[in-house]
Amino acid sequence: MLCGYGCCLLLAILLLCACSDDGGSSPVVSKSWSSLGITDSYELHSVLAVGSKIYAGGLSSENHVSLRIFENDVQTDLVDVSAQTGVSWGIVDDPDGNIYVGWTAVGPKGYVAKYDQGTGVITDTGLTGAAQVYDLYCTDSLLWAVGVSSDGAGMVSAYDYEDGSSWITIPDTPTQTAGTMTFYNEAPLVAGQIGSGCFASLYKYNITASSWFPYQSIGGNAGQIWDLVVDGSTIYAGGTARNFSGKVWKLQGNESWSDLNIPDCGQINALLMSSDGMLYAGGIDTSGYGQVWVYRISDDKWASTDLTDSYTVYDLTETDTGAIYAVGEDLHFNGQMWKYQ
């Protein structure tokens, strides 16, 4: 039997072994969340990191659709996008550094606004025929907006931001909604709902034929897809199953979709592929609180990042320093932003 120094040495060795063996450990163990302490926002729905700045779309305390600008975790500006009330689900930047906010006014009616960082001026881009805007996506030459058209179909429109004057008409998707969009193999890929049973479906756009075609059915269990992320030849989709559980699905190459079985999840609103190869998923857990999970692709492990003081998480972004930011609503009914580093 060991005692004295021997006991202490054995204990130290056991602790070291326990810390070194990550076979059952969390994918991320060295990071923690901190709140930016926002108190004058009703809601924050979208977030984007550009250089040293963070842009967040939501509602101000006056219930105006607004754009908040942060630098070094301090709010430096609050810009009214509109004096109307609405939700701003999409936010992107173009190669020239302009910021675009996609939002939906009560009515409903969908808009896309442009924020010029140089002048600080917000202008409307003149989107027409949109009842709702759910997401934005920017390529080298075009800004894409997806949502619901005024005719009640899945809407996709493209804006030529280089000439800054025109939206290009794209045929409506066969879906009843277009909830999110990405590019895959150099073509638009849109997820939406179809049918009275609310089945999630994906459609890919053939630019030459100006037509939408079904793409790799995700299966009858999928109810809604709210975000798509492409990582090489792999597509990740986040949303909700028809039994109202949160889901993340994976499609690799020509294989079938697979359920990644995210634990204790009620809804997924946002996905983020981080610079260190981790997949983050934000939404609501099965207890009704906002949460962010992280998935380590190399060994197929999920873990909660232990976000607290949140009712919901709507969107995620990453800075060039590797910090993860989430926006949503905190337990005090404020639109809130949290930093994970």
Alpha-carbon gap, residue 327 to 125, rounded angstroms: 25
- Residue 138, classified by CB atoms within 10 Å of its CB into exposed (0-12), middle (13-18) or buried (19+), is middle
Residue 294: both structure tokens together: 């992280």
Q: What is the pLDDT of residue 3?
A: 42
CB atoms within 10 A of CB 242: 16
Per-residue pLDDT of the chain (341 residues; tens, 9 = 90+): 434 434 433 333 333 333 334 444 455 558 999 999 999 998 999 999 999 999 999 999 999 999 999 999 999 999 999 999 999 999 999 999 999 999 999 889 999 999 999 999 999 999 999 999 999 999 988 999 999 999 999 999 999 988 777 899 899 999 999 999 999 999 999 999 876 557 899 999 998 999 999 999 888 789 999 999 999 999 999 999 998 899 999 999 888 999 999 999 999 999 999 999 999 999 999 999 999 999 999 999 999 999 999 999 999 999 999 999 999 999 999 999 999 99
The CATH fold assigned to 89-340 is Neuraminidase (2.120.10)
Q: In a 3-state reduction of DSSP, which class is residue 90?
A: strand
Q: Do residues 35 and 330 lie in contact, with contact meaning Cβ atoms separated by under 8 Å? A: yes
Q: Which long-range contacts (CB under 8 A, 24 or more apart) does 81-89 make?
A: 81/57, 81/113, 81/115, 81/122, 82/111, 82/113, 85/59, 86/59, 86/111, 87/43, 87/45, 87/59, 88/45, 88/46, 88/57, 88/58, 89/45, 89/46, 89/57, 89/133, 89/134, 89/135, 89/314
Q: Is the pTM of this model over 0.85?
A: yes
Cα 110 to its chain centre, rounded Å, is 19
Alpha-carbon gap, residue 147 to 190, rounded angstroms: 10
The owner of tokens 């600080």 is 120
